[in-house]
Amino acid sequence: MKKLLYTLLAVSIIFSACKKEDEEPNNTGNNNTGNNTTSIVGIWDLKYYEYDSYYINSLNPTDTTHNSGTNYYTGVTSDCCWPFYLLEFQSNNEVKITTFTEGYQGQDSVITEFAAYHINGVNLNIYNEEWQTHSTPPIISLLNNNNLHLTQDYFVTQNGNGTETETYYGTTKYFFERIN
């Protein structure tokens, strides 16, 4: 009987000392490690974005206009006047931003500029006017080998015609694919 007890005790000690390998690590669903500088390096093409926005005019503040939808970029044209981006993140914390827009009269514009960037946790700080004006830093909601999803809140107040003030606020979600 003692021999059986010692055997069971030895087996239980051995099993309790073993590390479980079947458990999956906790994943918040965003695939972020907090240090994304290495994995964000490359060229990212904006495929589409979703927006949820509100407009308030100070002359009639109870009349709020709500717009939401999805804009896709086909490579030929986009919904009129909405910008699309090609972001090339480099390892020296610089990003090349190419912005494509189409005007109301069909005049296309392509603007390329360089800016510094920094990743702090899930916040992606891009230091240029387009990505900073009236906005919170984009939040990296997904970053893996093929996809980069960013979410950005914005709030803009501007003078309208005459004495009114126009306010726009909302959220934009950007969906990029890696092309290099």
pLDDT of residue 15: 42
Contact indicator for 81, 107 with CB cutoff of 8 Å? no
pLDDT at 5: 39
Query: Which residues, at least 6 apart from 23, have a Cβ–Cβ distance to it below 8 Å?
Result: none
Q: Which pTM does this prediction carry?
A: 0.68
Higher pLDDT, 180 or 55: 55
All domains in the chain, ordered by first residue: 39-178 (2.40.128)
DSSP letter, residue 175: E
Percent of the chain scoring above 90 in pLDDT: 28
Rounded distance between C-alpha atoms, residue 146 and residue 167, angstroms: 36
Residue carrying the six token digits 């969906």:
175
pLDDT digits (tens, 9 = 90+) for 101-128: 765 555 567 888 999 999 999 999 988 8
Rounded Cα gap, residues 22 and 26, in angstroms: 13
CA 169 to chain CA centroid, nearest Å: 17
On average, the pLDDT of the chain sits at: 74
The CA-atom distances, in angstroms, between 102 and each of 75, 96, 106 are 12, 20, 6
Selected residue with higher pLDDT from 73 and 42 = 42
The mean per-residue pLDDT over the stretch 14-20 comes to 46
pLDDT of residue 91: 92
Residue 172 token pair? 């934009």
